[in-house]
Structure 1
Amino acid sequence: MQVNLLYRPSQALAQCWLQNGESVVAESGAMVGMSTNVQMQTQSGGLMKGLKRLFGGESFFRNTFTAQGGQGEVLFATPLCGDMAVLEAGHKQWCIQNSAYVASSPSVDVKTKTGGFKGMFSGAGLFLLETSGMGQVVIGTFGALEQVQVDGSMVIDTGHLAAWESTLQYKVGKSGSGWIASFLSGEGLVCHFEGQGTVYLQSRNAAEYGSTIGALLPPRQQ
């Protein structure tokens, strides 16, 4: 699979070229368009796996696109405006914030990982996504995408996390000296990363954006 990222950085679109018989797996609703020789199949991967995806903030189903009779093209995008990146899984594996996942090679197993209360309070839902296997993973962010190298420790706002190397250790905590200070600061919860590895950040926080826009809308008429 060859992935070209077009219209970066604010209106990114992933163009995936598939050889005859080659496939790509994508989040439901991510497809923008495809050539006529590409066949799509929808599957949940089993009831329990589908339910874990659903509670993790993903859709219940994922779609598999396969080129037949020659080279095929599939276009993917995210619901919100922003950038995209292609991660290589294999030597490195990744934890992905559920809304950042777009598509991946079939050889990459993208599992829903139970994060317990740590995952729930991290702003990524009760579940995170974690990769295994080898291949490519396409992620999409809201706003600009920044690649940060952690060498020791770093503190990152949970709403701006997109993906990070699975070797990094993290814990969720308050941004200020106490819970009241954290609440008044408007920063909320942060992730404390430890170790060495890469973190991908998004410059915009979808939840904060939604709250801001919602406050400007006129009240609904009953």
Structure 2
Amino acid sequence: MRFSIEGEYPVLRCYLNKGETIKTSAGAMSWMDGEGFDTEVTTGGIMKGLGRMLAGESLFFSYYTARLDNQEIVFASSLPGKIVNIKMGGKTFIGQKSAFLASEKTVEMETVFTKRFSSGLLGGEGFILQKFSGFGELFLEADGALFDYELRSGESLLVDQGHVFLFEESVRYEIETVKGMKNVLFGGEGLFLVRLIGPGKVTLQSMPIANLAGKIIPYVPSKD
């Protein structure tokens, strides 16, 4: 499979040869060669499908298999931001619940929760995450720009949940309550933050969809 990531509002353009397959959440394909693909829609297991629904993804995966060589299929990002390619090579990553765009069929995806479910639930956006593992090409979409940190063992970052995009499995993830009533009421950061603890690589995103929606909603006309 050949691919390129193009455009200011990016698209993932893939070229598959006969017999090659790419998978995505059902409904995420943007355009493709009209007669070049066989399509199969499956849950990949009902429990895995239900887990994806909890994460805000589709219950189903769509698998596109090329009938001929050099067949084009394109996936567009859903928001202004970036499309990221990861060559898995047997590694495991934890990502935000809406990060998945597409992958080769050899990449596994499952829904995971924070260790303390109640804390994660109260934390809002981030208690449901996605775990990616296996081999092959993985493509994720991020909100806004991306910033990388390489944390040493025991080193930590304290982050607003919506800004967490991706981290290596070796990084621990904890939810902390903001201390001090004035900080809670007037700090503007919400009641909970995420502490990411090394070792491992962490990638943060600059424009979480929840923050963007919060800026837009006041300008949406409402019925009297």
The TM-score normalised by the length of structure 2 is 0.88
Q: State the shift of 1:126 in Å.
A: 4.3
The aligned runs of 1:165-176 (5 Å cut-off) are: 165-174=168-177, 176=178
Name the residue aligned to 2:2.
2
Output the CA distance in 2 between the equivalents of 1:40 and 1:65: 5
Name the residue aligned to 2:108.
109
Paired positions, count: 218
Q: Within the alignment, does 1:69 sit opposite 2:58 as a pair?
A: no
Q: State the shift of 1:39 in Å.
A: 2.1
Q: Is the 8 A contact 2:126 2:162 kept in 1?
A: no
Output the CA distance in 1 between the equivalents of 2:43 and 2:105: 14
The aligned runs of 1:1-222 (5 Å cut-off) are: 1-7=1-7, 10-36=8-34, 37-115=36-114, 116-151=117-152, 152-174=155-177, 176-178=178-180, 180-188=182-190, 189-221=192-224
Aligned amino acid, residue 6 of structure 1: E
Q: State the shift of 1:145 in Å.
A: 2.2
Output the CA distance in 1 between the equivalents of 2:207 and 2:175: 19
Aligned amino acid, residue 182 of structure 1: V
Cα 1:194–1:137, aligned 2, differ >3 Å: closer, same or farther? Answer: same
Q: After the TM superposition, list the runs of 4 or more consecutive aligned residues in structure 1 that deviate by more than 3 angstroms.
A: 117-126
Q: State the shift of 1:128 in Å.
A: 1.4
Note the residue ranges of structure 1 that are not aligned, 5 or more in a row: none
Percent identity, aligned pairs only?
30
Please state whether the residue corresponding to 1:212 is helix, strand or coil: helix
Cα 1:196–1:126, aligned 2, differ >3 Å: closer, same or farther? Answer: closer
Q: Is the 8 A contact 2:90 2:134 kept in 1?
A: no
